[in-house]
Structure formats: structure tokens, C-alpha cells
């Protein structure tokens, strides 16, 4: 059972631009208890009493059979622990009898929403300035100002190299290209003295290359993103093998899709980037094993056109069909060749109104962001037609990074930390040539983030918080990924990967990171059914 995001308010202003933040105050947010928010829990002050009562009921239930509790906990699926009200409620439905209507022990002062002294609770002592007590929980503020850094012990030359990289990036931003150029030379010299096995030393070389490309070749960056679709697919496949990020993405998305398809006999998955179709064998097999039997599965795979007469999409489709046949799943495949996602039109997908649709986007939506936030930018267009398909679920996996900031230096800094963390995690991989090719895959991403601009810069990663706002604003609501998905993702990690990876839960979404730094985030969405007339864009 997938859970909906009960606390999300339909966000966004009525202007067409996604970048303008909501101007009207949101009463629900104002009421959030600021102190509990600091502890990671979103509870409205007006709901505290209610939560407390439910906690009491749970405690009473627990008192009766404490040993059973941990067993029940192992089996129960929990969602979004930040939303205390929902979490406590879900536990109540698992463990306790429904309550008789109980008289209130706790009263709330209607004037200022503070708890009032009575037989139950003491007042919150007004020692701190009131402004901290019920702060506006401004997610936007905290998230736009986030820069997460994990370092390892670096030798001095490593630190010097970082210093020079930053200075060089600063020069590039301010247009002092001659100083930037000489720094490039210095850095290349310094590289020979630095430990390039792990940490910043490893990735510095790639950043130096990307900077130098930006300085000397301008920002068309065609050659960076170059390489044929065929090459990209190979690199992608090796990145898949060398580290768990894509496996996590596929696995988590498949779990959610499987749940969403429950009870449907005709299902249709639209994959925004088929590549080698690595995600789908597992889903096909899971559907084959579904109690009650598999549905009819249609898969529409989007991918770039292949040159030289090959139809690589069809080839992948044939292989998947073969697998489906072997496990008795009725399967149909359709390839949609498009160089850019924004060139895809919904009619090409041939969605049947009777089927349950899952839209699957693994690191594709950011490519639609573009440099200007205009009305009907590609992202708006695509999100709009996705909504029009009324999918049962849209799974979104994106890099958890802020690589689309307008300022070059900020972007560069963020990228330096992001990719050095990612490279560090790759160190654990022992298999070749997977590791080497995975590094090239990442290197290309770095090149695009650093040395490209305008339409050539497609790696416009944005953090989960921004995607949440964007998707909510476009008429989607979050479907929460629960403790079962979390547990299985964690277990998958221990099976396939080195120590140091960690899965984190973040208000219904899951992220995979390396040593406390989340690097990739997975979320699931559904179209909000009712939509105000004046909100629908032309």
C-alpha cells in the first residue's frame, strides 16, 4: 500500500514561472512547532495534543505485550517518520484497538496556541525569544543554502590543489582568463605531487581538464558530451556495474512500480531512458511471481536514434521480450527514438486509457531544465503531458546535488565536493574495466557541469527539495517510499557494495550516499486528481 503525502499543500503561485516562490503565506506551515522541526519532526502545534494522546494509547498497548512489539515492528511497513501524526497513526492501526472517544486531558490556549497549564502539561517556559518557538518552517531557505562536504584527511598538497582550483574557478567567473590559464599550468604541475588514489586528488585532474576546456574551447562543449549514443550506453552499463547508484535507482523505482501496479491487469511502463534496459528484467521477474499472476506488461523505451541503420531500442526490446516469454509474462515493447526528451510527444507513447501507467525517469528530468526559467519551458511541457497521462506512478531518481546554480563558482564548488565523494566511493570497486569506464562516465558529467553552458549544459542537477517544490507545483503529490523499501535497499547495499554506503529516509523519499553525503535521491509521485481551473497552463 503506497502512502500519500498528506501534509503537502498544493504549492506554487498562479504565475506561470516555476521559479517564483509562493508569495502567499501558508497557514499550515506557520503553525509548525519550531523546536520539533529542529529535531527533524514536522508537527503542527495545534496537533501536538492529538499526537500526545495517540502516543499514550500506543504506550498502553505496548505495556501489555512488549516482546511482541519488536516482532510486529519487523513486519510493519512504516512511512515518513518526519510526519509524526501519520507515523503514530500507522503504528496505532498496526498495534492498537481503535480508541473510545476520550475526554481531553490537554487543552490548547486558543489565543496563541500554547499549551495551557492544567493537570496535564506545564507551559513551555518562555525563556527563549518567542520567535524560535513557532518559526516558519521555510524549507526553501534551508535547502537553497546547503553545501555538504565530506573530506578525508588530505595532505598539504591536496589542500593547495583545492585552493588553486577554487581560485581558478573564481577567475573564470570574473573573466580573468589569463590568471586562470596560468593557474591551470600550475595545477597540472602540482598534480604530479598529489596522491591521486583517493579523495580530492583523484578527481582534481578531471576538474582541471574541464576548467581548461572551458577556458580554451569555449562553452559549446560539444566534444565533452560527445561520444555516440552507443558509447554512452557502454559507459552507463559499466557505471551500473561498478557502483550501486543505478542499482539502487532501479531497485527502488521497481519496488514502487510493483506496488502501484498491484491489482491491475494491464500495465504500461514508460522508460525515459532505456539504455540497455537494465532496470526491467527484475521488474518482469517480480511481476511473473506476483500472487494472482502477472499482468500484461507493455514497455515503451525512449532513447536516442541509432545511426548506421541499427535499431538498438528494438534490440533491447527483443531481449526483454525473450526474458518475459521465459517467465510467462505477456509482454509488448515499443521503442521511441528521440534525441531529446522534450521532442517526445505523448501520442508517441500510445497509452491506452485502460492501462495502469508508470512513468520512469532515472536522471532525465534535469536535462529538461534549460538555462532560462520561462513559461512553458521543456520541463513544464513534459511534466504537463505526464500529468495528462494520469500515471499510477511516476518514479523519479535524480542526482542529489545543486549543479544548476547560476553562479559558476558556486556550481563548481558544489560539483567538486559531489564528484570527489562519488569518486571516493568508486575506490571500493575492484573490477576492471568497469571501474575505469565508470570513471569516464562520471568524468563526462563533470565536463558538462563545468565546461558547458546554455543548451549544451544538460547536467543540470537539482536537489530533492527543489524537485519536490517543482513537482508539487506541477500538480503531483508524493507517494511515500516506506521502511520496507528502505530495508531492502540497505540489504542490497550490503550484498553488493563496500562499507561506507548508506541509505537515508527523507520525508518519504530515499537517498543513497557515501559516508553521510547523499548522492542520489529516489522519489515516487502521482498526479493530483483535482486541478483548479485557473492553474492549468495554456
Partner 1 sequence: MAGSNEVNLNECKTVVPLNTWVLISSFKLAYNLLRRPDGTFNRHLAEFLDRKVPANLNPVDGVFSFDVLIDRATGLLCRIYRPATAEEPEPNIVELEKPVVGDVVPVIIFFHGGSFAHSSANSAIYDTLCRRLVGICKAVVVSVNYRRAPENRYPCAYDDGWTAFKWVNSRSWLQSQKDSKVHIYLAGDSSGGNIAHHVAARAVESGIDVLGNILLNPMFGGQERTESEMRLDGKYFVTLRDRDWYWRAFLPEGENRDHPACNPFGPNGRSLEGIKFPKSLVVVAGLDLIQDWQLAYVEGLRKAGKEVKLLYMEQATIGFYLLPNNNHFHTVMDEISEFVGSDC
**Residue 203 carries which DSSP code?**
H
Which of 82, 252, 377, 395 binds partner 1 (CB under 8 A)? It is 82
Question: What are the grid coordinates assigned to 505, written together?
Answer: 529516509
Q: Is 131 exposed, middle or buried (0-12, 13-18, 19+ CB in 10 A)?
A: exposed
Chain-centroid distance, C-alpha 223: 28
Question: What are the grid coordinates assigned to 113, written together?
Answer: 496556541
Enumerate residues 455-484 that contact partner 1 by CB under 8 A.
483
DSSP annotation string for 75-105: H---B-TT-HHHHHHHHHHHHSPPPPP---S
Q: Which residues contact 293 (CB under 8 A, 6 or more apart)?
A: none
According to the binding rule CB under 8 A, does residue 148 interact with partner 1? yes
CB of 169 to partner 1, least distance (A): 10
Residue 520's nearest CA partner among 467, 453, 456 is 467
Asked whether the beta carbons of 282 and 200 are under 8 A apart, the reply is: no
- Residue closer to partner 1 by CB (options 125, 372) is 125
Residue 333, strand partner residues: 299
- Residue closer to partner 1 by CB (options 431, 491) is 491
- Residue closer to partner 1 by CB (options 129, 309) is 129
Residue 287's nearest CA partner among 274, 298, 302 is 298
Enumerate residues 152-171 that contact partner 1 by CB under 8 A.
152-153, 159, 162-163, 166
- Residue closer to partner 1 by CB (options 125, 308) is 125
CB of 439 to partner 1, least distance (A): 19
Enumerate residues 1-40 that contact partner 1 by CB under 8 A.
33, 35-36, 38-40
CB of 252 to partner 1, least distance (A): 13
Enumerate residues 53-72 that contact partner 1 by CB under 8 A.
55-56, 58-60, 62-63, 66-67, 69-71
CB of 57 to partner 1, least distance (A): 10
Residue 359, strand partner residues: 270, 394
Asked whether the beta carbons of 389 and 347 are under 8 A apart, the reply is: no
CB of 73 to partner 1, least distance (A): 4
Enumerate residues 375-414 that contact partner 1 by CB under 8 A.
413
CB of 100 to partner 1, least distance (A): 17
Residue 477's nearest CA partner among 522, 523, 528 is 528
Enumerate residues 88-147 that contact partner 1 by CB under 8 A.
88, 91, 105-106, 115, 119-125, 127-128, 132-133, 142, 145-147
Q: What is the dihedral of CA 410, 413, 419, 423, to 10 degrees?
A: 180
Residue 298's nearest CA partner among 230, 359, 221 is 359
Helix 434-451, helix 229-242: angle, nearest 10: 120
Enumerate residues 486-515 that contact partner 1 by CB under 8 A.
486-487, 490-491, 499-500, 502-505, 515
Which of 277, 317, 475, 518 binds partner 1 (CB under 8 A)? It is 518
Site residue total, partner 1 (CB under 8 A): 79
- Residue closer to partner 1 by CB (options 382, 510) is 510
Rounded to whole angstroms, the Cα distance separating 394 from 454 reads 28
- Residue closer to partner 1 by CB (options 80, 360) is 80
- Residue closer to partner 1 by CB (options 154, 265) is 154
CB of 193 to partner 1, least distance (A): 18
CB of 183 to partner 1, least distance (A): 14
Amino acid at each position: 500500500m503506497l502512502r500519500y503525502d498528506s501534509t503537502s499543500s498544493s504549492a506554487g503561485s498562479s504565475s506561470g514561472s516555476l521559479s517564483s516562490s509562493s508569495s502567499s503565506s501558508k497557514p499550515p506551515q506557520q503553525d509548525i512547532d519550531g523546536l520539533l522541526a529542529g529535531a527533524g519532526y514536522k508537527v503542527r502545534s495545534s496537533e501536538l495534543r492529538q499526537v500526545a494522546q495517540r502516543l499514550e494509547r500506543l504506550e498502553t498497548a505496548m505495556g501489555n505485550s512488549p516482546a511482541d512489539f519488536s516482532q510486529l515492528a519487523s513486519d510493519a511497513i512504516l512511512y515518513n517518520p518526519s510526519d509524526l501524526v501519520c507515523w503514530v497513526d500507522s503504528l496505532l492501526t498496526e498495534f492498537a484497538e481503535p480508541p473510545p472517544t476520550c475526554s481531553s486531558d490537554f487543552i490548547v490556549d486558543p489565543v496563541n496556541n500554547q499549551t495551557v497549564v492544567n493537570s496535564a502539561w506545564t507551559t513551555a517556559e518562555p525563556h527563549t525569544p518567542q520567535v524560535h518557538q513557532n518559526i516558519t518552517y521555510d524549507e526553501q531557505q534551508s535547502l537553497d543554502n546547503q553545501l555538504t562536504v565530506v573530506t578525508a584527511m588530505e595532505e598539504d598538497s591536496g589542500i593547495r590543489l583545492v585552493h588553486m582550483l577554487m581560485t581558478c574557478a573564481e577567475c573564470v567567473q570574473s573573466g580573468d582568463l589569463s590568471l586562470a590559464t596560468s593557474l591551470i599550468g600550475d595545477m597540472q604541475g602540482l598534480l604530479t605531487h598529489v596522491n591521486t588514489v583517493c579523495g580530492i586528488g583523484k578527481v582534481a585532474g578531471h576538474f582541471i581538464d574541464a576548467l581548461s576546456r572551458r577556458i580554451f574551447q569555449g562553452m559549446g562543449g560539444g566534444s565533452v558530451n560527445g561520444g555516440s549514443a552507443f558509447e554512452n550506453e557502454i559507459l552507463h552499463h559499466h557505471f551500473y556495474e561498478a557502483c550501486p547508484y543505478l542499482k539502487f535507482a532501479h531497485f527502488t523505482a521497481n519496488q514502487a512500480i510493483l506496488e502501484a501496479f498491484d491489482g491491475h491487469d494491464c500495465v504500461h511502463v514508460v522508460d525515459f531512458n532505456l539504455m540497455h534496459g537494465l532496470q526491467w528484467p527484475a521488474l518482469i521477474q517480480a511481476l511473473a511471481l506476483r500472487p494472482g499472476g502477472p499482468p500484461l506488461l507493455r514497455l515503451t523505451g525512449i532513447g536516442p536514434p541509432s545511426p548506421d541503420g541499427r535499431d538498438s531500442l528494438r534490440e533491447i526490446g527483443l531481449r526483454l521480450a525473450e526474458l518475459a516469454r521465459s517467465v510467462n509474462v505477456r509482454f509488448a515493447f515499443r521503442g521511441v527514438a528521440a534525441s531529446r526528451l522534450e521532442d517526445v510527444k505523448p501520442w508517441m507513447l500510445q497509452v491506452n486509457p485502460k492501462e495502469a501507467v508508470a512513468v520512469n525517469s532515472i536522471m532525465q528530468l534535469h536535462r529538461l531544465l534549460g538555462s532560462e526559467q520561462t513559461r512553458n519551458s521543456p520541463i513544464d511541457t513534459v511534466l504537463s503531458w505526464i500529468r495528462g497521462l494520469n500515471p499510477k506512478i511516476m518514479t523519479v531518481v535524480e542526482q542529489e546535488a545543486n549543479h544548476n546554480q547560476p553562479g559558476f563558482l558556486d556550481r563548481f564548488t558544489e560539483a567538486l565536493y559531489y564528484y570527489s565523494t562519488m569518486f571516493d566511493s568508486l575506490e571500493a570497486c575492484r573490477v576492471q574495466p568497469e571501474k575505469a569506464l565508470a570513471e569516464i562516465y562520471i568524468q563526462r558529467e563533470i565536463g558538462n557541469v563545468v565546461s558547458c553552458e546554455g543548451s549544451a549544459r544538460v547536467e543540470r542537477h537539482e536537489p530533492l527539495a527543489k524537485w519536490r517544490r517543482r513537482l508539487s507545483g506541477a500538480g503531483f503529490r508524493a507517494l511515500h517510499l516506506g521502511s520496507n523499501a528502505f530495508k531492502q535497499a540497505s540489504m542490497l547495499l550490503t550484498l553488493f557494495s563496500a562499507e561506507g554506503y548508506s541509505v537515508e529516509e527523507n520525508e518519504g523519499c530515499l537517498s543513497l550516499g557515501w559516508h553521510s553525503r547523499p548522492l542520489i535521491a529516489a522519489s515516487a509521485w502521482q498526479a493530483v486528481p483535482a486541478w483548479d481551473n485557473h492553474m492549468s497552463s495554456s
